[in-house]
Chains A and B, each alone.
Chain A
Amino acid sequence: MTDSGTASATPQFLFDYSTTATNAARLLEEFVRGTLAPAVAGYQATAVDFGSHIFRASAGYAPGAPGTIDGQVTALLPRIIATDEHVALVGKLFQLAGGTRETVVNRVPFVNGPRPVLGQPPLAAPDPILTVFTDDAALAAAERSVGHYGAGNALALSFDWSSTDTGDLAPGLKELAKHQDDEAFCVEFFNSLPRGTVAELIIYGGPTVNHALATAYASGLLDARVEHEVVRSLELQMEQPSGNPAPAATLNALAADPAAAAAFARYLSKDPKALLHFMGGLGYRHEADPGYTLEAQTGSQRAYLSLLTSAVPEMHPGEVKSLIVAMGAHFPDVTPEDLQAILPDMRHFLATAAGAMSGPLPSDHTIAKHPEALSKWANGFGANMRAFNGIYEHIAKVFIDAQASDDKVQGILTDAMFAVGFTFVPESVMAAGVSLPLGKWDVGSKVASAVNEDLVKVISPPIPWPKGGDGAKISDFVQAMNRNSALYFMCNTLYSHGMITHKSGGKWVATKWPDLNGPDGPNQLFASLRGPHATMDDPATSAWAWTQHAKGGRKLAELINQFMATADSVPTSAPSGG
Chain B
Amino acid sequence: MPPQGKVKYDFAAADELSRALNQLVDKIHWLNWYRDTRSSKYFDCGQQSWRGKNHDQFVRDLHAQRRALNALAEEAASLKSQVDDATAAATAKLSANHH
Contact = CB atoms under 8 A, between A and B. Distances in A.
B47 A131 contact: yes
B99 interface: no
Contacts of A131: 47-48
Contact of B35 (A5, A7, A21, A93): A21
Interface secondary structure of A, over-half rule: helix
B82 A54 contact: yes
Contact of B72 (A25, A55, A72): A72
Contacts of A6: 51-52
Given A2-B51, A76-B69, A24 B13 contact: no
Nearest to A23: B34
Contacts of A13: 42-43, 45, 48, 50
Interface in A20-34: 20-21, 24-25, 27-28, 31-32
A111 B82 contact: no
B34 A24 contact: yes
A69 B21 contact: yes
Contacts of A20: 34, 38
B68 A76 contact: yes
B51 to A, nearest CB: 5
Nearest to A37: B20
B14, B24, B42, B82 interface centre (most CB from chain A within 10 Å): B42
Contact of A42 (B17, B47, B90): B17
A39 B83 CA distance: 12
Interface string B1-35: 01000011110011011011101100110110011
Contacts, number: 168
A46 B9 contact: yes
Given A14-B42, A49-B8, A69-B24, A8 B51 contact: yes
A160 B65 CA distance: 50
Given A47-B14, A50-B7, A76-B72, A9 B65 contact: no
A285 B62 CA distance: 64
A149 interface: no
Contacts of B23: 31, 35-36
B84 to A, nearest CB: 10
Given A39-B20, A49-B2, A83 B38 contact: no
Interface string A89-122: 0100100000000000000000100000000000
Interface string B49-67: 1111111101001100100
A278 to B, nearest CB: 36
Contacts of A17: 38-39, 41-43
Given A1-B56, A13-B48, A79-B65, A43 B82 contact: no
A49 B13 CA distance: 14
Contacts of A47: 9-10, 13-14, 86
A568 to B, nearest CB: 35
Nearest to A55: B79
A7 B52 contact: yes
B47 to A, nearest CB: 5
B90 A49 contact: yes
A119 to B, nearest CB: 17
Given A28-B27, A136-B52, A84 B35 contact: yes
Contacts of B28: 28, 73
A10 interface: yes
Interface residues of A, number: 52
B48 A111 contact: yes
B42 A49 contact: no
A5 B54 CA distance: 10
A40 interface: yes
B48 to A, nearest CB: 4
B55 A51 contact: no
Nearest to A134: B52
Given A24-B35, A54-B82, A39 B48 contact: no
Contacts of A51: 9, 14, 82-83, 86-87, 90
Given A48-B9, A73-B24, A7 B86 contact: no
Contacts of A93: 54
B62 A83 contact: yes
Contacts of B51: 2, 6-9
A80 interface: yes
Nearest to B46: A111
A83 B13 CA distance: 35
A88 to B, nearest CB: 12
Contact of A21 (B39, B72, B87): B39
Nearest to A49: B2
A27 B62 CA distance: 18
Interface in A125-171: 131, 135-136, 139
A43 B14 contact: yes
B65 A42 contact: no
15 contacts: A8-B52, A9-B49, A14-B43, A17-B39, A36-B24, A42-B13, A43-B13, A47-B86, A49-B90, A50-B87, A54-B86, A90-B58, A111-B48, A131-B47, A139-B53
Given A36-B23, A76-B68, 19 more contacts: A5-B52, A13-B50, A27-B27, A32-B24, A43-B17, A45-B13, A47-B10, A47-B14, A48-B8, A49-B7, A49-B8, A50-B7, A50-B90, A50-B93, A51-B82, A51-B87, A80-B35, A90-B54, A131-B47
Interface of B: 2, 7-10, 13-14, 16-17, 19-21, 23-24, 27-28, 30-31, 34-35, 38-39, 41-43, 45, 47-56, 58, 61-62, 65, 68-69, 72, 75-76, 79, 82-83, 86-87, 89-90, 93
Nearest first, the 6 closest Cβ-Cβ pairs linking A and B are A7-B52, A46-B10, A51-B86, A48-B8, A49-B2, A39-B20
